[in-house]
Amino acid sequence: MFVSDTHSLVWYLTDDPKLGKNSLKTFEDADSGKETIIIPTIVLAELLYICERKKIGVKFNDILEKLKDSFNYVVYNLDFQIILKLKQLRISDLHDRIIIATALITKSKLITKDPIIEKSNYVQTVWWFFFS
């Protein structure tokens, strides 16, 4: 299983070449039923904000429809277990801490290119750039 951060999911949904090739393969594998990607609710909240403010080429309702009809994309709620895990993480960004906590609790790899998360060694990350 994998957890997606916000940037990774946005870049996948918009076919952005910034998405790492290993990350792209993971999303494609989820689309074909080979993998499961967990989407923390904080990622959905950030996507709503991005869709409303930055006018990306994807509508928020389309994202929700895709998630609603998919067994391979699972929304994970911000719950008490996540809150308890947050206390153990020494990352300053609260959104990142929630995403990391979700990956830890679900024993998943994290799809991210965030260097702070990668250097923290809290979770195994998946990325690989197209142009490296």
d(CA 98, CA 106): 12
**Any idea of the CA torsion for 97, 109, 84, 63, to the nearest 10 degrees?**
70
pLDDT tens string 66-90: 888 889 999 999 999 999 999 999 9
pLDDT band of residue 57 (cuts 50, 70, 90) is confident
Residue 128 has a pLDDT of 62
Counting every residue, how long is the chain?
132
- Closest to 17 in 3D by CA, of 111, 126, 129: 129
Identify the structural domains of the chain with CATH numbers, from first to last.
2-126 (3.40.50.1010)
Output the six-digit token pair for 4. Answer: 């997606």
Neighbours of 114 (CB within 10 A): 20
